[in-house]
Amino acid sequence: MDFKRKLHASTAKNNSLLCVGLDPDSAKLPATLTGADNLYQFNKAIIDATNDLVCAYKPNSAFYEAAGEQGIKQLQKTCAYIREHHPDIPILLDFKRADIGNTNAYYAQFAFDYLGVDAITINPYMGREANEPFLGYADKGIVVLCRTSNSGAGEFQDLEVEGKKLYQIVAEHVAREWNDNQNCLLVIGAPYPEELANIRSVVGEDMTFLVPGVGSQGGSLEPTLTAGLTQAGGGLIINSSREVIFASDGTDFAEVARQKAMALKEEINKYR
């Protein structure tokens, strides 16, 4: 099943637009989780506690790469666990890669062939030609950075080119020039609901947005959903990482993560 259909199915099955980020910061793990596979054990507990509440999981590769070979193995084990036990839930790898086409081909192999993820984030800065190795995976989701959630995003993304801001031009190019396989999505940060509404008006209702930045980065759910939802009540993947997975640092971390995820899901659904 391709990413788009898989995401639609998981959203419908769990009645959820919530994506949980699997970002196991080793400095924040519960003290009881020790040993060589502590990242994986943490992830497994979070997945077991939340799999009926989410539309997707989003591991960020940085947290695993920092742990070297053992970290990469735990990322692979995490992806394999989701595919085996919850094959209906898509895995979106937060990767943000950007390089020349030859190099991107190997990034794509790592993500799609070795890890077996369903979607990845990429950086558009080098243009379509360089990103063809990603875009060519027609059954995978290619999530393009557009208007990101960090406070300094406007340094480049708000620059004006012939009367349009750069993020608007990125959105237009992705929607009209890159999306031949209908597998492109955009990253739009929750702290910027006006920009979110603008981009929705530009690209229409057929494109899904990955929306980080709710909570810890200042984004609020109601304006985000009002700005970005399609008429059918979808079109958004609302990501939460730290607020869910580190809601408790005690032995009850998975139970508390479930409570937090359930509350977020219910709040999101109030505005759909």
pLDDT in tens, the chain (272 residues): 899 999 999 999 999 999 999 999 999 999 999 889 999 999 999 999 999 999 999 999 999 999 999 999 999 999 999 999 999 999 999 999 999 999 999 999 999 999 999 999 999 999 999 999 999 999 999 999 999 989 899 999 999 999 999 999 999 999 999 999 999 999 999 888 999 999 999 999 999 999 998 866 657 899 999 999 999 999 999 999 999 999 999 999 999 999 999 999 999 999 98
3.30.9.10, 3.30.460.80, 1.10.760.10, 3.20.20.70: which CATH number matches 3-270? 3.20.20.70
Residue spans of the domains in the chain: they are 3-270
* Helices 101-108 and 127-135, axial angle in degrees (round to 10): 30
Contacts of 24 (CB under 8 A, 6+ apart): 38, 39, 42, 43, 63, 245
**pTM score:** 0.96
Return d(Cα 181, Cα 88) in angstroms, integer.
21
User: Quick one: DSSP state of residue 231?
Assistant: T
165 among known catalytic residues: no
- Active-site residue, from 4, 6, 96, 140: 96
